[in-house]
Structure 1
Amino acid sequence: MATTYNRLLDSLPSIGHWCSGRESKLFVVVEDWFDRREDVLELQGTYRKSGIQAFFIEPFDRTHSTSQSHFMVLTRMVEESGPETEWFGLLDDDTFYPHLAPLSDALGAFDHTQDMYVGGLAEDFGSIQNFGIMAYGGAGAYLSAALAKKLGTVDQAVQCLQESPPNLGDIIIRDCVYHHSRARMTVLPGFYQHDLLGDLRGFFESGVDPLNLHHWKSWYHAPVVEMATATKFCGNCFLQRWRFGNDTILSNGYSVSVYSEGLDTIDLSKMEHTWGKLYGDQDPRYDYILGSLRDMVSEDRRKTYYLKDTEISGDTMRQLYLRKGDHRSGELDEVVELIWRK
């Protein structure tokens, strides 16, 4: 990653969820290193005490943009890698993995001894039209060991910076791959850039099994750490759906929704389109990533309780889902408490 001290401080809980206690090494170029060196080193110690193998490093060049630093960190990653390292990921600081094992399994299906460039496209076709085919950085760009070692020498990396625009990190990576190797992008289902605005309820309630989440504290807001805590209790169960009776769906870690007209009126095989447009008046297309969509269900036809907290103690997990009432009309808040026991 490449980011600032304050964003790195803010990201400790979310990064800690997926990186703590792992053998993966986390390399971060800290853009304001020269202004906050002592603070940065102290924060590195905090990350390591949290079980994260963190290496916070200064920019390779004071004149580099964040996007350029985001690419140049690959050189340090390659230097510190050993024969056990099979994959290198270039991520944003808000790239979030609900559970790291599915990512390891998905990448493990490919041959890391060959040149491989793996990632996900943006969901909004307007992004593809504007920026092209590439691994979009919020989902992450993943390079096999063979390709990373080819592109991650200092001389080669500097040449790639000279050949690409300085402020588009995803394009720097793509151009370097395309110009200096025979690798082409491999799209891996399950990666999500989340170039989607506003309400992502339809995504989270669709039964999707995401390898990652992105933009969760900017383009939309979701308590991803509390949401994904369920994975520590029941493994790859995040967002798994359960149907109760004829009117209720639990989307594990996100919501409980009760439909007044019953579930038979809803096509649960399609994702509900709840988010807003990214590119103004353009007619957005999402189906090539998200599949066929269905229209949004209005609030007067459903009651939705959203996850607020998750606690695990021994063989028990406790989740609280909250629905805020309309206080102006005297409607009370409602809480669903869900207890899981092994």
Structure 2
Amino acid sequence: MYDTGVMLRSRPWHRWVVAGAVLVGIFYLFPAVTFRPTTSTAIADTRFLTPAPLSNLPFLKELLKDNGLGPEVEFASRHLKYRRNAETRPPLSQIPNKLFPNPPQTINIETVTTLPQLLPPVTLAVENSPRPNEVDASALIFGVSTTYSRFNDDAAGPLREWKRWLTDGNGSSNGAALVLCLHEATDDQILLAQTKLEGVGIRATVQHSDSSLDMPGRYFSLINALYNHPSRETRSYFGLIDDDTFFPSIAALLSMLSEHDPSKPYYIGAFTERVDWMMDHKVPMAYGGAGVFFTAPVVKTLDDLTPTCLKKNPESGLYLEWGDQGDLLLYNCLHNHTEVILTNVPQLHQMDQFGDPSGLYESGELPLSLHHYKSWHRLAPEKVHVVTDACGLNCIFQRFQFADDWVLSNGYTISAFPRGIDFDIMKMEGTFDNGLAKNGVEDVSLSYSFGPLRKNLAGTGRKISWSLLDARSDEYGRVTQVYVKRRDDERWLAKDEPKPRLDSVIVLVWEL
């Protein structure tokens, strides 16, 4: 009789024969047993592991120093535990807890070694909306026309914002495609732009604009670029945007678009917010900065109509369809040659109001798009958007009113109301200034879009606001937001009220 043990030790290949037989037996006897390989994504997702202790002090020290705040500041902080179990996203959520039951503390950010101890966390319910890395946006393709100098500009360039809504936030595409047409760019600049976009995870095609076309024509020609894109057959919705168009929740945008059958002809967008401009122009068109969307049948129709709609009067040099702007030229082409009319979606925002935009951003609305945030008003949407890494895309700008009459407009401001909230907070605050209110006559240019506006509280002492300075997320799904009120900000002082002695800082930490 053979000594099997000796044979296996002396001939290693026997071990593989036996092991293989055992595995075959397992699969034969227990067919339900399967092996699921661990993916790199699962390894990288530490959101549900026990988080390491959080220290915001180094981040805060550097941030305040870089922005000329302190070193002595008033400081308050709170942890917010979010639960993604709300059925809807209301414009205002009432929270039974006080946000800050204790007064702020004074600290010197240069010498302090630990931040003041946090109060127990407050629990907030938010809608179960996906985070940036949980969205499949492959139904979308966007076209945009700009110059290389603007694209490459550190301040005016769109790359920081595009990273937030065209990627998963981790350096990979969310499936959406971008066609970028650059005017007056060299071949090297086209390559550099392509490399930059790919480097941050944006699925992009960068190409030259047609140098023979003017600005309206270049905008119109984006239709041809989208129609000829190799991924056209896999896309459902084709969008034209400006380089300063931002989509706060790509998930909400997809949800809205999915209500429109992509096999049918749709032209989707929004009017300007200004009814006076609507009456002056007398054109019910989609304004381009808010984002204009088409289904494939309309894209094909416009592509076929391009030679007709780009014809000009040889004497005047004007388009026969008439249009000194690309969005108007597109509208006239559709209006004059098809039966397609606009599907108006007011949640897409052209942002044509001037002055302080807080009325909209603090309204609790989830805007589908934003525009003009680097020109007609100032906003850093890429910083506002960071909180979506924690509580999901639809919690951006969500409004929470606490028991002590503090109101959080998530990612934008935290506001206190020292005399209480004795007004209808569901009405939008009239912070805007279109320059039309004269001699006691009220400006109604925005009333059709926003409804009757309540009085602006700036300069009354009835409202004090801290604005988002910056935000960061970590590998455990926590997001830290830093809101500040500068001591020389006179908007929050009543008449003859003295300025405060110190800058004021509020830190919120979002965590599961």
Between the aligned residues of both structures, percent identity stands at 30
TM-score, normalised to structure 2, is 0.63
Specify the alignment match of 1:75 in structure 2. Answer: 224
Specify the alignment match of 1:19 in structure 2. Answer: 166
Q: Structure 1 residues 119-128 or 156-165, which shifts more?
A: 156-165
Classify the secondary structure of the residue corresponding to 1:272.
Answer: coil
Q: 1:333 to 1:6 in 2, by over 3 A?
A: same
- Say whether residues 1:334 and 2:504 are aligned partners: yes
Aligned pair partner of 1:160 in 309, 313, 336: 309
Specify the alignment match of 1:249 in structure 2. Answer: 407
Specify the alignment match of 1:306 in structure 2. Answer: 467
Counterpart residue identity of residue 189, structure 2: D
Give 5+ residue unaligned stretches, structure 1. Answer: none
Q: CA deviation at 1:141?
A: 1.2
Q: CA deviation at 1:206?
A: 0.8
Alignment of 1:213-228 (within 5 A): 213-228=370-385
In 1: Cα distance, 2:504 partner to 2:437 partner: 36
Specify the alignment match of 1:28 in structure 2. Answer: 180
TM-score, normalised to structure 1, is 0.93
Q: Deviations over 1:268-313 (max 9, x none)?
A: 1110010111668794422222122111113321110000111111
Q: CA deviation at 1:164?
A: 3.0
Aligned pair partner of 2:189 in 14, 39, 43: 39
- Say whether residues 1:296 and 2:448 are aligned partners: no
Q: Deviations over 1:220-273 (max 9, x none)?
A: 00111101111222111011111112421000000000011102x121111001
- Paired residues of 1:65 and 1:167 also in contact (CA < 8 A): no
Q: CA deviation at 1:198?
A: 1.9
Classify the secondary structure of the residue corresponding to 2:411.
Answer: coil
Q: CA deviation at 1:11?
A: 1.0
- Decide which structure has the larger Cα Rg and report it: 2
Q: CA deviation at 1:211?
A: 0.4
In 1: Cα distance, 2:407 partner to 2:499 partner: 27
Classify the secondary structure of the residue corresponding to 1:271.
Answer: coil
Higher relative contact order (CA closer than 8 Å, sequence separation 6+): 2
- Say whether residues 1:186 and 2:343 are aligned partners: yes
Q: 1:43 to 1:83 in 2, by over 3 A?
A: closer
- Paired residues of 1:94 and 1:216 also in contact (CA < 8 A): yes
Specify the alignment match of 1:133 in structure 2. Answer: 284
Taking only aligned residues, the RMSD between alpha carbons, in angstroms, comes to 1.8
Classify the secondary structure of the residue corresponding to 1:159.
Answer: helix
Counterpart residue identity of residue 326, structure 1: D
Counterpart residue identity of residue 243, structure 1: Q
In 1: Cα distance, 2:205 partner to 2:233 partner: 19
Specify the alignment match of 2:483 in structure 1. Answer: 321
Q: 1:330 to 1:292 in 2, by over 3 A?
A: closer
Counterpart residue identity of residue 5, structure 1: Y
In 2: Cα distance, 1:134 partner to 1:46 partner: 34
Q: Structure 1 residues 276-285 or 64-73, which shifts more?
A: 276-285
Classify the secondary structure of the residue corresponding to 2:228.
Answer: helix
- Paired residues of 1:68 and 1:166 also in contact (CA < 8 A): no
Classify the secondary structure of the residue corresponding to 2:290.
Answer: coil
Classify the secondary structure of the residue corresponding to 2:309.
Answer: helix
- Paired residues of 2:190 and 2:208 also in contact (CA < 8 A): no
In 1: Cα distance, 2:280 partner to 2:207 partner: 32
Q: Structure 1 residues 106-115 or 125-134, which shifts more?
A: 125-134
In 2: Cα distance, 1:330 partner to 1:123 partner: 37
Q: How many residues align?
A: 336
Q: Structure 1 residues 321-330 or 248-257, which shifts more?
A: 321-330
Aligned pair partner of 2:434 in 265, 277, 290: 277
